[in-house]
Chain A
Amino acid sequence: MHLSEGIVSMPVLLAGGALTVAGTIVGLKKIDEDHLMTTAMLSATFFVASLVHVPIGPGSVHLLLNGLMALILGWACIPAILVALILQAVFFQYGGLTVLGVNVVIIGGGGLLGSCCFRPLLRRPKWRKAAGFGAGFLSVACAALLLCATLVTTHQDFIGTARVVFVAHLPVMVVEGVMTMFIVSFLAKVQPEILGLTHD
């Protein structure tokens, strides 16, 4: 899911950078100061989760957990993902510092878009599992779509690649959906306040 340096065109890089700056400012304003350590832990989990990759076809895909982060942290997931991506670029040479903005928009923006429509459903116990699955699934789908859009707006030749990328992420959508579903169910039982819920 990480775009490497030297692929994306300058206008897309600038747009990604501007959106990331705006998202980070909003995220820092909305961050819950009582849960700073939780934010750091989730950011660290994202940092490590991207190392676990699933070989599919000629390439490989990896876990994102962006839906889970967006469900729990809301807008604060943007600075959390930004820090994790900076450290991944520095320590693992994933992505790169120049494409940081674009990668944050793809992963963080995908998480926010995918989770926002399922957040209200978390309040309904009967729909909670479905909401967790949907948020995880749709967050990866949105991130994959944003990645495809980035590739296509960079160069028309990337249309074929974009299709492959989206199809390759279908299994990840399912895996992330299932993982998010279980994690959300667990959190709703042990720490519902984190999800903005009260004890059932």
Chain B
Amino acid sequence: MINRLGMFSLVLLLVLLFGTECLAHKITVFGYVDQAMVKTESKFSGGRPAKGCQLTVLTGMSPVIVGRTDEKGMLDFPVPEQHIGFDILVSCGEGHQGKWRIDTEELGRPPEPYISTGSPQKKVTLPVQDSALQLMIRAELAAELGPIKHQLAELKQDSVSLADIMGGLGYFLGLAGLASYMRFRRDGK
């Protein structure tokens, strides 16, 4: 049986749940590749930009600090030279950080394929130049696909939903019910 304090706690819980804007206290990071650049956006779930946070790229080797996010929580940086998948880690102090994975497939083909010429001792590399048409197509595609990639990246984020909150509250009731059952069973009531 719920006593008066239980009722009071329930009311307080409901006020917190519905009377205020529920915003998660967590950094969410998402990024996508736009031509030779990686575009990132970091925010607290709820939409507030995570500004001035340190962004680090983890390629499996030593982490590389890229810089700090701007006023909108955004930071763009060139695709790492290794051209392999990497993690983007954004730290905002107080031990809060978020991570986003960019896989190798998302990077597309390397921007500058090289042809080797000459003897093994004295190797000369020459970049294969893209034709003007290829560059134009790539730029157009990037402009068209940029917003879609942004939306897809946002959709992949975990966000706090009412269903999550209600599910969590259900666990509390369930645990309390289980503890009460065990107690009454032990006491033989």
Contact = CB atoms under 8 A, between A and B. Distances in A.
A150 B50 CA distance: 23
Interface in A175-198: 183, 186-187, 190-191, 194
Contacts of A194: 5
Contacts of B50: 58-59
A6 interface: yes
B3 A52 contact: no
B95 A7 contact: yes
A38 B94 contact: no
Contacts of B148: none
A51 B24 contact: yes
User: Chain A interface residue count: which class?
Assistant: 35 or more
B3 A37 contact: yes
Contact of B48 (A60, A61, A94): A60
B109 interface: no
B158 A59 contact: no
A45 B12 contact: yes
A31 to B, nearest CB: 9
B9 interface: yes
Chain B interface size band reads 35 or more
Interface in A141-200: 147, 150-151, 161, 164-165, 168, 183, 186-187, 190-191, 194
A50 B167 contact: no
B74 interface: no
Nearest to A144: B94
A94 B20 contact: no
Contacts of A187: 5, 8
B180 A37 contact: yes
A59 B13 contact: no
A84 B3 CA distance: 21
Contacts of A15: none
Given A47-B172, A51-B160, A52-B23, A59 B8 contact: no
Interface of A: 1-4, 6-8, 33, 35-45, 47-53, 55, 58-63, 72, 83-84, 87-88, 91-94, 147, 150-151, 161, 164-165, 168, 183, 186-187, 190-191, 194
Considering the complex of A and B, which 8 residue pairs feature the smallest CB-CB distances, nearest first? A40-B176, A41-B9, A3-B95, A44-B172, A91-B164, A87-B168, A45-B13, A161-B93
23 contacts: A2-B25, A2-B96, A7-B97, A37-B2, A37-B180, A38-B3, A40-B175, A42-B9, A45-B9, A47-B168, A48-B22, A53-B23, A53-B24, A55-B48, A60-B23, A60-B25, A87-B172, A91-B160, A94-B24, A94-B25, A150-B95, A151-B94, A183-B12
